[in-house]
Structure 1
Amino acid sequence: MISMNLKNLRMRHQLTQEEVAERINVSRQVIAKWEKGESTPDIQYCVQLASLYHVTLDDLVNFKDDVSELGIPPKGKHFFGVATLGERGQIVISKKAREVFELSAGDKLIIVGDDERGIALVPEKMMSAFFNLVKTTLDKGNEHDDSH
């Protein structure tokens, strides 16, 4: 798996084997062997490669793309599959998505959208935490303004 992931990530980032080799201080031949599966990078190189490609170490090593064919998602990004909209507008959120975002029955989701970027579901608890952070920041800014 890691050999395919290394090659796919390098190509997605439009880098040559030589460029990757220079960035992590190995030879181009070493990169070629890793991508062919003839050898495997040591953990120190895996960490550098995960950082270079902005993916998690776990995804770099273990990611297997059975369904989406989108490749390894960037660190902190997820692809949970496809949901079908029911006749009454209902959708089912995948188990993995519910686990990652700690969602359970009864949780509220805020629906936001943009004509060009699409639609998103945001857990209400995350949105509330964001608005509280903004309010606190604004309140602190106003305290400084009032003191002058």
Structure 2
Amino acid sequence: MAIKELNIANNILYLRRINHMSIEELANEINVSRQAVAKWEHGESIPDVVNCLALAEIFEVSIDNLLHYDGSSEEISIAPKGKHFFGMTKIGHDGEVVLPKEAREIFHWHSGDELVILGDEHSDHPGIALISSDDFMKTTRELLDQIYPQKGPNKSDN
């Protein structure tokens, strides 16, 4: 098994800057010295597991991305935890789109599953989104129940 290269120094520096935090603010947030954060960013030392967990939580990224994301070889920045970029796909002659295997695995989608296709053509970045039909219907029912609460057998329209 190949060991992934550690890029944590660059990632801490990048994440701190895009979150508009000073070294001192980040250090205070996780109860370490400014010098410790500076050493991490310069690659002179590596945060321990507890501090890696804290950093991942503060920056809302996965620990794997905190440790291994390589900004020099990727076209997009570190994704927030739970957000994914699966690459690109082409629309086939009959309009078919193949979902990447990783996406199907993460969302537990299988051949024959029904998906709802949602679209927004009026935003600055028009596009479509997919959601399982079961999840969509569950959310829709919950919203409708909030808007139009069900009346119990002892409730009246008074």
Structure-1-length-normalised TM-score? 0.83
SS of 1:142's equivalent?
A: coil
- Does the 8 Å CA contact 1:8/1:71 hold for their aligned counterparts? no
The residue aligned with 2:10 is 4
Q: 1:95 aligns with which of 97, 101, 113?
A: 101
TM-superposed CA distance for 1:58, in Å, is 3.2
Distance 1:68 1:121, change over 3 A: farther
Fraction of identical pairs, as percent: 39
Match for residue 105 of structure 1? 111
After superposition, where does 1:41-80 map in structure 2 within 5 Å? Answer: 41-64=47-70, 68-80=74-86
1:142 is the counterpart of 2:150 = yes
Residue 136 of structure 1: how far off its partner (Å): 5.2
CA distance in 2, matches of 1:19, 1:86: 50
**Cα distance change, pair 42–122 in 1 and its aligned pair in 2 (3 A):** same
Conserved 8 A contact 1:68-1:81: no
Of 134, 145, 151, the match for 1:125:
134
After TM superposition, the score normalised by the length of structure 2 is 0.78
Provide the residue aligned with 2:3 in structure 1. none
Counterpart of 2:135, as a letter, is: M
CA RMSD, 1 decimal: 2.5
For 1:85, the equivalent position in structure 2 comes to 91
Higher helix proportion (structure 1 or 2) = 1
Task: Quote how far apart the aligned CAs of 1:68 are.
Answer: 4.3
Q: Distance in 2 between matches of 1:65 and 1:40?
A: 18
Shift of 1:112: 0.7
- Structure 1 counterpart of 2:45: 39
TM superposition shift of 1:4: 2.1
Tell me the CA shift for residue 71 of structure 1. 2.0
Query: Could you say which structure has the larger radius of gyration?
Result: 2
CA shift at 1:48, angstroms? 1.4
Q: How many residues are matched?
A: 147
Q: Deviation at 1:135?
A: 4.7
Structure 1 pair 66–90 and aligned structure 2 pair: CA distance change class (3 A): farther
Shift in alpha-carbon separation, 1:76–1:120, aligned structure 2, 3 A: same
Unaligned runs of 5+ in 2: 1-6
Gaps of 5+ in 1: none
